[in-house]
């Protein structure tokens, strides 16, 4: 990645849609603050995928006083649980490359680390769906699922895994639970087998994807220009928490970091000691 201008070109790579004669990208994006991070779900990081049913069952049981009766579908419940931080097999994506860029540069404590943006072609992933789900997508003339579309054919997580012997990925749009979901232009992915990382699945199948490394040296420039474009926590996390997070970074004096760096040389710069 050379600079901000080069980044704009790369973010919209392969966005031309020839049949439509429009720039309509078939990719969803995920921003990571550290390029060494994997595409692992919170359930993967928990390390106990068999706990998934227990987590979701108890989430539903204890949250009924706060949730309306419209949440009957397991897919709506799963989206709601992910939204509120429960470990699930879901992985967060966005249709917006700029929103992904926000998440790759949101944490200024990681500004010494290169970031990463993953882009995956969700249209290509349809080729690996089981016949039952592929038929629904075709009937709807859609490229991506809603919770209601999934519910027509499969109503439980175990049933999803039984639809096809081979592993497959499903991309679906969550219900508009609140402004956060809407403003982040959110999409979820999930694997039929919760133990499989989507990054490993992509390597074994003919699904277009690419990765963009965000150099640490560019992060502050990117961050400032995103803030000026109104891509920040104040918009993406509406409410006082998002506002406070944005203000904390906005008023951070980076000149102090430069002075601290000069006062404390890096390990590589320190003189070696004689043995």
d(CA 24, CA 183): 19
Is 19 domain-assigned?
A: no
What is the residue range of 84's domain? 26-269
For residue 164, count CB atoms less than 10 angstroms from its CB and return exposed for 0-12, middle for 13-18, buried for 19 or more.
middle
Q: What pLDDT digit, counting tens, does each position of 111-157 carry?
A: 999 999 999 999 999 999 999 999 999 999 999 999 999 999 999 99
d(CA 184, CA 237): 8
Is 237 domain-assigned?
A: yes
Is 255 domain-assigned?
A: yes
Return the percentage of the chain with pLDDT > 70, whole number.
90
pLDDT computed for residue 177 by the predictor: 84
pLDDT computed for residue 269 by the predictor: 47
- Please count the structural domains in the chain: 1
Is 199 domain-assigned?
A: yes
pLDDT computed for residue 4 by the predictor: 93
Is 5 domain-assigned?
A: no
Is 11 domain-assigned?
A: no
Is 7 domain-assigned?
A: no
Q: What pLDDT digit, counting tens, does each position of 76-124 carry?
A: 999 999 999 999 999 999 999 999 999 999 998 999 999 999 999 999 9
Is 17 domain-assigned?
A: no
Question: Strand, coil or helix: what is 191?
Answer: strand
One digit per residue, the tens of pLDDT, for the chain of length 275 reads 789 999 999 999 999 999 889 999 999 999 999 999 999 999 999 988 889 999 999 998 888 766 655 667 899 999 999 999 999 999 999 999 999 999 999 998 999 999 999 999 999 999 999 999 999 999 999 999 999 999 999 999 999 999 999 999 999 999 888 899 999 999 999 999 999 999 999 999 999 999 999 999 999 999 999 999 999 999 999 999 999 999 998 888 877 666 556 555 554 444 433 32
The predicted model scores a pTM of: 0.89
- Residue 119's φ and ψ, nearest 5 degrees, are -130, 125
């Amino acid at each position: 990645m050379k600079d901000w201008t080069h980044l704009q070109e790369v973010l919209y790579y392969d966005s031309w849609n020839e049949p439509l004669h429009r720039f309509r990208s078939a990719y969803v994006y995920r921003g990571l603050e550290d390029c060494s991070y994997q595409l692992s779900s919170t359930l993967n990081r928990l390390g106990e995928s068999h706990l998934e049913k227990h987590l979701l069952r108890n989430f539903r049981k204890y949250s009924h006083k706060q949730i309306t009766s419209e949440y009957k579908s397991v897919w709506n419940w799963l989206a709601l649980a992910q939204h509120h931080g429960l470990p699930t097999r879901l992985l967060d994506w966005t249709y917006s490359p700029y929103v992904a860029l926000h998440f790759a540069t949101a944490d200024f404590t990681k500004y010494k680390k290169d970031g990463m943006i993953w882009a995956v072609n969700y249209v290509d992933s349809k080729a690996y769906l089981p016949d039952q789900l592929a038929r629904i997508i075709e009937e709807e003339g859609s490229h991506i699922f809603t919770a209601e579309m999934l519910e027509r054919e499969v109503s439980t997580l175990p049933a999803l895994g039984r639809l096809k012997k081979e592993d497959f990925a499903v991309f679906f749009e969550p219900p508009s639970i609140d402004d956060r979901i809407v403003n982040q232009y959110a999409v979820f992915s999930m694997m039929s087998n919760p133990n499989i990382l989507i990054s490993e699945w992509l390597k074994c199948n003919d699904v277009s994807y690419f990765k963009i490394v965000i150099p640490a040296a560019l992060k502050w420039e990117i961050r400032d220009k995103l803030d000026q474009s109104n891509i920040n926590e104040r918009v993406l996390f509406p409410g006082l928490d998002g506002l406070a997070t944005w203000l904390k970074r906005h008023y951070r004096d980076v000149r102090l970091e430069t002075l601290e760096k000069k006062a404390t040389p890096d390990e590589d710069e320190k003189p070696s000691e004689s043995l």
